């Protein structure tokens, strides 16, 4: 009982706060072994060893120490999604010190842990219910676009620099950056940039899942703007645009600096990924030391038999600090963003020059997932109502620059306003069938608001990018 009490609350806590990242059977079996089976085995073994006469003086302290150590060790794992030697050493010393205080009240302490586990279960239930009640109706297309037949099949390079703002917004508002060098670099290479382009959602997963599915999901009507139900499965396992590509004979490649899309070990729908599912840790946020993807990209391009689709994800410039405790303040966060923007420019220039040298008639699309959030102290401030035009565009404004094959730009490219319609418009271009444009989605942008207004999903920018504040209601 002491062993189970040490692990069950941290296990429930970890699931409640990270469910979308670990909702696989592999994770369930692994965590059951780590949080429950492992402490039981250790406790039973230690209890048996302590029965030897020369250890009898330590026996009364053994179970309290092990319980305290495992409990706080698991909590540190749950809070930081990983094991750190310094934290583990601190937990060991803390458990040793608390053992002498808790020994007399050990049964009451175990009872308290079990009560916490009960509270943890109550907290987890709504998360599980939302998963069970999840409707996939939003994924259904209003037409037969998934059966589109391409009349032209260039290699497609979909390059996503995380948090890269649109050139039109970088020049003003809370940014006021001179990014003309990179903007001119793209112009010289016959890229067309689209001012005012923006994302529909405020984070990587909701933005990309809506973009690849070409439909709005409205955050699954949930309360977490970064993690939505089955977003990773939508992005890397199966989505409408991926089906269109496969139906048209495309080879598909997923190249990312981080395994962020793979944390819950989803089934891969791409033919190739530079990260394998097996090398993704069970305890991870998917963010760590970035992997250099350029050598892999070069190898795949040089051995290409085409037609190919490359999803290239670059985690720069990113966005400002997520939480208040990590923020350095508005100005310092702005300067950090500016520095990362230059780093992103260097990476993009290297990649683009190589692609254009080897594949000059490629369709290259550079588009970000969301903005950089500069102007806020931290990203969680977006959950508080604001009608500040520049702050909202700091959240949603994204770069869109396209290298159209043979510089033949479709006349309907004027409808490129937001990411949810990007792949539908590209499908119309590649299939030369404008009937698919009859079912474009609303170009509005949405936020989850928790403060300053009744909690809910709000339309914050309308289809023209103008500020509105209207609560979304399910029709």
User: Nearest to residue 436, comparing CAs of 424, 445, 418?
Assistant: 424
Give the separation between CA 197 and CA 179, rounded to whole angstroms: 17
Tens-place pLDDT, residues 230-246: 999 999 999 999 999 99
Considering the chain, what percentage of its residues have pLDDT values greater than 90? 80
Average pLDDT, rounded, for the chain: 93
Residue ranges of domains in the chain: 2-132, 138-471
Structure tokens at 439: 């079912």
Tens-place pLDDT, residues 341-387: 999 999 999 999 999 999 999 999 999 999 999 999 999 999 999 99
- If pLDDT is split at 50, 70 and 90, which confidence band does 26 have? very high
Q: What pTM value is reported for the model? A: 0.91
Checking if the pLDDT of 145 tops 60, the result is yes
Residue 461 neighbours by CB distance under 10 Å? 25
pLDDT at 147: 97
- If pLDDT is split at 50, 70 and 90, which confidence band does 83 have? confident
- If pLDDT is split at 50, 70 and 90, which confidence band does 217 have? very high
pLDDT at 186: 98
Residue with more model confidence, 127 or 262: 262
Q: What is the mean pLDDT of residues 219-233?
A: 87
Transcribe 129-197 into DSSP letters. HHHHT---GGG--SSSGGG---S----EEEEEETTPPPHHHHTSTTT----HHHHHHHHHTT-EE-TT-
**CB 420 within 8 Å of CB 411:** no
- If pLDDT is split at 50, 70 and 90, which confidence band does 251 have? very high
Tens-place pLDDT, residues 415-441: 999 999 999 999 999 999 999 999 999
Sole residue written with tokens 């934290």: 87
pLDDT at 141: 97
Checking if the pLDDT of 319 tops 70, the result is yes
Q: What is the dihedral of CA 421, 457, 328, 346, to 10 degrees?
A: -10
Checking if the pLDDT of 55 tops 70, the result is no
Q: 304, exposed or middle or buried, with CB in 10 Å at 0-12, 13-18, 19+?
A: middle
- If pLDDT is split at 50, 70 and 90, which confidence band does 85 have? confident
pLDDT at 361: 94
Structure tokens at 122: 């109550």
Q: Picking from 52-56, 69-73, 174-178, 189-193, which range would have the lowest pLDDT averaged per residue?
A: 52-56
User: Nearest to residue 196, comparing CAs of 371, 363, 365?
Assistant: 371
User: Which residues, 6 or more positions from 166, have their beta carbon under 8 angstroms from its beta carbon?
Assistant: 194, 195, 196, 197, 198, 397, 398, 399, 400
Checking if the pLDDT of 475 tops 60, the result is no
Sole residue written with tokens 């780093």: 343
- If pLDDT is split at 50, 70 and 90, which confidence band does 53 have? low
User: Which residues, 6 or more positions from 78, have their beta carbon under 8 angstroms from its beta carbon?
Assistant: 10, 11, 13, 14, 17, 18
Q: Picking from 46-60, 131-145, 212-226, which range would have the lowest pLDDT averaged per residue?
A: 46-60
Beta bridge partners of 176: none
Residue with more model confidence, 142 or 224: 142
CA distances from 304 to 191, 246, 268, 359 (A): 23, 16, 20, 10
User: Nearest to residue 447, comparing CAs of 370, 377, 378?
Assistant: 370
pLDDT at 54: 62
Give the separation between CA 332 and CA 306, rounded to whole angstroms: 45
Checking if the pLDDT of 275 tops 70, the result is yes
Structure tokens at 64: 């309290």
User: Nearest to residue 238, comparing CAs of 217, 269, 207?
Assistant: 269
Checking if the pLDDT of 222 tops 90, the result is no
138-471: CATH superfamily: Alkaline Phosphatase, subunit A (3.40.720.10)
Structure tokens at 379: 């990203």
Considering the chain, what percentage of its residues have pLDDT values greater than 70? 99
User: Nearest to residue 6, comparing CAs of 76, 110, 100?
Assistant: 110
Q: Give all strands of the β-sheet with 467-471 in edge-to-edge order.
A: 445-449, 456-461, 467-471
pLDDT at 309: 98
pLDDT at 60: 77
């Amino acid at each position: 009982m002491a062993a189970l009490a040490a692990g069950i609350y941290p296990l429930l806590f970890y699931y409640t706060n990270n469910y979308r990242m670990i909702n696989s059977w592999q994770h369930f079996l692994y965590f059951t072994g780590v949080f429950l089976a492992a402490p039981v085995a250790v406790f039973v073994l230690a209890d048996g060893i302590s029965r030897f006469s020369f250890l009898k003086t330590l026996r009364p302290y053994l179970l309290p120490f092990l319980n305290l150590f495992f409990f706080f060790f698991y909590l540190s794992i749950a809070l930081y999604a990983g094991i750190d030697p310094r934290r583990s050493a601190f937990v060991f010393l803390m458990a040793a010190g608390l053992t002498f205080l808790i020994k007399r009240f050990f049964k009451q302490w175990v009872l308290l842990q079990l009560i916490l586990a009960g509270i943890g279960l109550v907290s987890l239930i709504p998360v599980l219910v939302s998963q069970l009640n999840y409707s996939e109706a939003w994924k259904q297309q209003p037409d037969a676009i998934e059966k589109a037949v391409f009349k032209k099949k260039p290699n497609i390079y979909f390059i996503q620099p995380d948090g890269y703002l649109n050139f039109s917004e970088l020049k003003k508002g809370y940014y006021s950056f001179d990014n003309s060098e990179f903007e001119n670099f793209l112009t010289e290479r016959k890229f067309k940039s689209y001012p005012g382009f923006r994302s529909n959602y405020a984070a990587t997963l909701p933005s990309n899942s809506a973009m690849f599915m070409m439909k709005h999901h409205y955050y699954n009507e949930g309360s977490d703007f970064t993690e939505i139900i089955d977003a990773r499965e939508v992005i890397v396992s199966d989505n409408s645009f991926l089906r269109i590509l496969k139906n048209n004979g495309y080879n598909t490649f997923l190249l990312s600096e981080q395994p962020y899309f793979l944390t819950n070990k989803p089934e891969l729908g791409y033919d190739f990924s530079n990260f394998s599912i097996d090398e993704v840790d069970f305890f991870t946020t998917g963010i760590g030391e970035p992997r250099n993807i350029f050598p892999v990209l070069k190898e795949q391009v040089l051995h290409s038999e085409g037609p190919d689709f490359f999803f290239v994800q670059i985690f720069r410039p990113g966005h400002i600090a997520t939480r208040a405790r990590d923020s350095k303040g508005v100005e310092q966060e702005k300067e950090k963003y500016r520095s990362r923007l230059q780093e992103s420019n260097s990476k993009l220039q290297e990649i683009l020059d190589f692609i254009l040298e080897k594949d000059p008639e490629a369709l290259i699309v550079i588009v970000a997932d969301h903005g950089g959030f500069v102007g806020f102290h931290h990203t969680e401030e977006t959950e508080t109502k604001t009608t500040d035009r520049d702050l909202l565009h700091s959240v949603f404004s994204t770069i869109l620059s396209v290298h159209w094959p043979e510089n033949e730009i479709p006349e309907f490219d004027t409808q490129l306003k937001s990411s949810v319609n990007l792949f539908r418009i590209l499908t119309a271009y590649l299939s030369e069938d404008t009937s698919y444009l009859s079912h474009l989605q609303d170009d509005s942008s949405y936020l989850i608001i928790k403060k300053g207004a009744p909690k809910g999903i709000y339309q914050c920018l309308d289809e023209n990018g103008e500020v509105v504040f209207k609560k979304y209601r399910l029709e």
